[in-house]
Structure 1
């Protein structure tokens, strides 16, 4: 049944309808969410094409009719200003365009910030107190400003030029025009215009035309560069899920040749039907059947099962899982894109693409805001020129409109709140990774938990020792631990860990029976520990131990029998222990009115038992990773807003698909890469705290946005009326930014009253 479900899901991902081809393109030149929207719109205008552009990974997923070639798609994107090329067929590379872009922005930001400090001081001093000007002061200001407004601001100029070529406008357009206009008019002022005159005082300098505002152009560049840098860094982390998946796959495989020798080849060259060797600690390179050997395979990352699975000849294995002990010879049944592992990559990628379609509020509004500001600036200049005939006054008024409307506060509204929240979250064991999904946090009504490693410790522990009459618990555990110490099985480790003997016993004549258990001689007595049916063979099982076994297995626990000589003397139950913080965290969520759900790959009995222990409302058990995604999709289709808490590779697609993903920081890189919130500490108390911090963060961002736009709406008419020269407009813009930053800094106090 499991194999059928997995196969159906994989078919769903790779099978195309008749006459339709699925193509993936790497898209370059995208600098904001609106770029992804424009690139997607460009592709969807082509007949026979359906496309989705993932801004987080810079990948376009296209379903195209057979008569549409890759060259046609790339040409369309290229004409829109986004060079593209077909993506390689193998897993995503380790190359990270967002990380490279962030490093580039950081270099520009560092240079701009260093030059901006003296530039701002000198510009204000020369403008307000003209007597401080010395011979060549104009050249000093120009030398300080030129690298900032040209090289540092180049990403904005390049984007604005690309937008202009295609008749569109974004925030980059307004930034570029504002920086260019302020710089050009400042140069004219200080070399040819009012800057050559001496003012009669501070009032004249502030309200008249004798003002210098190169620091306005530089300040806009510095502040917006800072915002873009932190955004790019967040995007880089968001896109790392696919790179983490690629890193976990086997890179090479030892193929078994006809003469019995082995040949190591790249995993991508493995073909169906070939046999390959997997040794302890190695990843299995493809889905297949075990042709020879027996081993314990750690499948928890792919299936959510809490304990290793024993496989032997004739059993099936999944690519991407790890052999813990033993040597396997596997016959490849599904390779490359047909493996379940590759299907996992596609699930994460598709889920991320859906999430990336949600654009930031600023990008949505900019489609209307930017053109309106440009029109108002032109109308202001023309109006003042017609009314007064004074070119200087007309240009100054138009420039004031551009500067006062330049989105410095808007650019800071989200990144500053995210920076402060991230810093405070780190102190609380919480890492807020991005802002897109946080827009839905106020509406979250359902929280889904994974089980293994999330609600539970992820490590098997002894939960009970039932002894037959005449046997002591401590003696039984000590004898069992002595024998199990020779085994690497997870259950064996749990038994050894549970023994509290300071002077452990020693077993001799150790023997292991694959998939059954172990035997050894302890103090002259033959001790057997293992599967109940194997240990009980030829021995009498006391009624109370049989009842304990039945009751424990009904609760989903693993039971091993211990025999001393010819008598079964104990039953040891092993289970994945529940975290101490789980019940309190679930109770806090329920008190907040949230519905809780446990979705796991484990069996129903175990899942229901764990849910009852922690107080979770509903359970969905025995589901594969794609099944978790289906559960989330079904809930969202019913109108629910879903948060997902998980830690394994199998949780990656679900974390990406949920409205809000929360990953346990000790989990896999894939889960961490796909989530929006990382719980750095292992305590689940961080879950309700993280949701609270997320809500407060998005509320702060919204307040910042309201202030930024409200300030522009109120200030633009004043600038149009000629009551602001660009220097005052620049000061007002800086004050607006100060308010946004101050509001964001309030997040530093979050959680103080909750005892954190």
Structure 2
């Protein structure tokens, strides 16, 4: 053992202890996911390839208490889910694997230090390459003897510091891997560059006729061009996530109970705090208006550019912009649980999802590094046996090392996921998992909920004047305890009536709301549940002790783009059906208006999930589109699922996709982008594999110089990234507005399927 080994170990331990936060701090910044699971997000700047992803994920997943570890290549972020109890040694493990880590700060708006380092290295290597090339031209022109040696030594003086500075991007990564007994993609690059330099220095010292300083420096220059372009294009693809992060307010003016005011960072705002929001400021966290009235720019949430008027009682989403007047608002959640934070997490989850293609590419990249070195070594031995020329054998081996670097393969899948997530976001669609895009491309059946999904979910009570005021007031009090669209319509219609005292109010998903007043049991909801001997054909009713009191009639309108979206899905050959708890007549009328032949009415939440499961058992791959509490089981059971942003929290959390805008055109658009991204992933994998299938044999046969190999390898990576950027996200032809404004209903639409 080396005498310096203990010192190095102590140094490493001290460095880790200085950089790693305490368990208490880790617990504070982690996020509770439920069921005793927490998530910690770490920033790991050294992640740059598929092999890094595989190494980190496998290393962290082996730790006791770690449930899952996921690496996002674009953000260089590692998300670790672990069980509460004992904090896993995350930082120590990452350091042992060769990666420096620190806590991820989503609010940080830092300069892109990686790009700055790449550009500086690129400039220095380019300057050195140009000057060394000029000196080499003098040698090629016939310089002999001491003059030639002088030119070689001057070239060495220029190349040495240039390689030391510009090459450290590759050398540092390769050395960190070697210290831990692992090989990464930068190792063959580093060996190739250093071999070319070492061979040139040997020739210079021994007065050789040829030196290859120009090749080694120019080789590094081209490699840095590829690495820089790759970084720039990946950052360009991630502008959507960066734009979201910039919408987050940095802080807010908090009004204390004693009347004092404190300006707090957004991360320190807690639920229940009162906040003074001036005109021109963004809402820091999800909140409710307590005092004041104003107009808000809510385009982030709804996609609607027209200002939205808010008054006391209105709910505000984080990131929306207060336009006209001051407001006093009360925080509903912490910043990490706000709507804006949820969107950022969904975007990053979409980029880092583990599709089948991603897993294949990651495994291949992990096996590539040892295969590359073995191939180059065998090539060297083969050429030595055939030619006996050491110089030529080393040159060809260097070319093989460079040209076989699997950077293109490591980028083939994740870069498409990044671009697809951005395209979807630009169209108002959020993805909770990258694998959902792969599953969406496979669907052959679409199952729609009705109220709040095919319709806008904002029905209006049309027979309020025909209902006695005290009966309407009673129904309004009960309806106020439900988020179902029909409940909201009843609560709104009876808001001005005198309220009655009720107790034991509870909601039964799929049936309705029940409450007690003295000895009386009131039920508001499905007629066959609320009324003794009730008929499912009847709509939403109010009963007392099983006796009918009143029936409620509503009207609603189709979502914008519903007719056109259904037609486009039908053109793709997809089967469609409607599942609703509403009456058969109402569901049949809506299905007919949309051109959907198959529908089921009067179904409960469990029935919806059972129907989706039945489709799966029959070999179908259903997409479930729903919004309510009663749709959550079906959303979970489906092959893939989608919900509007207006959905109940449980429905939105259960869905794989969330669309922010009112139009139902999000469904065919997401399907098209998912299919296009799958096609581009297959193209990228074909390009990466095809490149190696063609380039490697040519390099082994000695027809490629190290310089050409560097250019080819860089171009392959750039080609893969550029191909991913071809993914388009435009919504296509405008959706017919006439269909969007169609009214369905009158006296019968929308019985309370899940009040």
TM-score, normalization: structure 2? 0.56
* Paired residues of 1:297 and 1:311 also in contact (CA < 8 A): no
Matches within 5 A, 1:327-726: 336=334, 341=337, 345=341, 349=345, 352-353=348-349, 356-358=352-354, 359=358, 362-385=361-384, 389-407=388-406, 410=409, 442-445=441-444, 578-579=559-560, 581-594=561-574, 623=628, 632-635=635-638, 640=639, 642=640, 644=642, 658=656, 688=668, 691-692=671-672, 695-696=675-676, 698-722=678-702, 724-726=704-706
The Cα shift of 1:372 comes to: 0.7
1:22 maps to 38
Q: Does 1:168 align with 2:189?
A: no
Q: Does 1:63 align with 2:82?
A: yes
TM-score, normalization: structure 1? 0.56
Instruction: Name the SS for the 2:48 alignment partner.
Output: coil
Structure 2 CA distance for partners of 1:405 and 1:196, relative to 1, 3 Å? same
The Cα shift of 1:160 comes to: 1.7
* Paired residues of 1:646 and 1:663 also in contact (CA < 8 A): yes
Equivalent of 1:95, from 99, 102, 108?
Answer: 108
Equivalent of 1:53, from 60, 70, 95?
Answer: 70
Structure 2 CA distance for partners of 1:158 and 1:450, relative to 1, 3 Å? farther
Structure 2 CA distance for partners of 1:438 and 1:180, relative to 1, 3 Å? farther
Q: Does 1:154 align with 2:165?
A: no
Equivalent of 1:215, from 197, 218, 230?
Answer: 218
* Paired residues of 1:54 and 1:352 also in contact (CA < 8 A): no
Partners of 1:688 and 1:611 lie apart in 2 by 18
Segments of 5+ residues of structure 1 without an aligned counterpart are 1-11, 198-208, 465-512, 518-553, 557-572, 668-681
Superposition RMSD on alpha carbons, in Å?
Answer: 6.8
Deviating more after overlay: 353-362 vs 112-121: 112-121
2:230 maps to 227
Equivalent of 1:107, from 111, 115, 119?
Answer: 119
The Cα shift of 1:371 comes to: 0.7
Structure 2 CA distance for partners of 1:126 and 1:582, relative to 1, 3 Å? farther
What's the CA shift string for 1:19-77, capped at 9, x where partnerless? Answer: xx7362524233345434433333333334434234247243342463x346x332222
Instruction: Name the SS for the 1:52 alignment partner.
Output: strand
Partners of 1:631 and 1:344 lie apart in 2 by 26
What's the CA shift string for 1:81-135, capped at 9, x where partnerless? Answer: 2334567xxxx641167x73564366358637965995898699789x6559997
Structure 2 CA distance for partners of 1:708 and 1:301, relative to 1, 3 Å? closer
Structure 2 CA distance for partners of 1:373 and 1:628, relative to 1, 3 Å? farther
* Paired residues of 1:305 and 1:452 also in contact (CA < 8 A): no
The Cα shift of 1:366 comes to: 1.4
What's the CA shift string for 1:469-497, capped at 9, x where partnerless? Answer: xxxxxxxxxxxxxxxxxxxxxxxxxxxxx
* Paired residues of 1:397 and 1:720 also in contact (CA < 8 A): yes
Structure 2 CA distance for partners of 1:229 and 1:718, relative to 1, 3 Å? same
* Paired residues of 1:582 and 1:684 also in contact (CA < 8 A): yes
Instruction: Name the SS for the 1:31 alignment partner.
Output: coil
Partners of 1:320 and 1:219 lie apart in 2 by 44
Structure 2 CA distance for partners of 1:293 and 1:39, relative to 1, 3 Å? same
The Cα shift of 1:166 comes to: 1.8
Instruction: Name the SS for the 1:443 alignment partner.
Output: coil
1:255 maps to 256
The Cα shift of 1:225 comes to: 2.9
* Paired residues of 2:276 and 2:329 also in contact (CA < 8 A): yes
The Cα shift of 1:321 comes to: 10
What's the CA shift string for 1:582-619, capped at 9, x where partnerless? Answer: 5323322221134668999x999999988775557888
* Paired residues of 1:279 and 1:327 also in contact (CA < 8 A): yes
Partners of 2:728 and 2:138 lie apart in 1 by 38
Partners of 1:300 and 1:611 lie apart in 2 by 32
What's the CA shift string for 1:364-413, capped at 9, x where partnerless? Answer: 31111221110221233344446655422331232132133234655786
Partners of 1:142 and 1:606 lie apart in 2 by 84
Question: How many residue pairs are counted as aligned between the two chains?
Answer: 585
* Paired residues of 1:416 and 1:741 also in contact (CA < 8 A): yes
The Cα shift of 1:702 comes to: 2.7
Partners of 2:454 and 2:255 lie apart in 1 by 38
What's the CA shift string for 1:537-585, capped at 9, x where partnerless? Answer: xxxxxxxxxxxxxxxxx999xxxxxxxxxxxxxxxx9977743x55323
Structure 2 CA distance for partners of 1:69 and 1:728, relative to 1, 3 Å? closer
The Cα shift of 1:159 comes to: 2.0
Deviating more after overlay: 729-738 vs 701-710: 729-738
Partners of 2:723 and 2:286 lie apart in 1 by 52
What's the CA shift string for 1:222-257, capped at 9, x where partnerless? Answer: 12331233224435644766x478x26983432344
Instruction: Name the SS for the 2:692 alignment partner.
Output: helix
Instruction: Name the SS for the 1:26 alignment partner.
Output: strand
* Paired residues of 1:125 and 1:132 also in contact (CA < 8 A): no
* Paired residues of 1:302 and 1:321 also in contact (CA < 8 A): yes
Partners of 1:141 and 1:652 lie apart in 2 by 67
What's the CA shift string for 1:251-294, capped at 9, x where partnerless? Answer: 3432344xxx464564766778x784778979596779x9x879
Partners of 2:436 and 2:555 lie apart in 1 by 39
Structure 2 CA distance for partners of 1:57 and 1:188, relative to 1, 3 Å? closer
Partners of 2:197 and 2:586 lie apart in 1 by 68
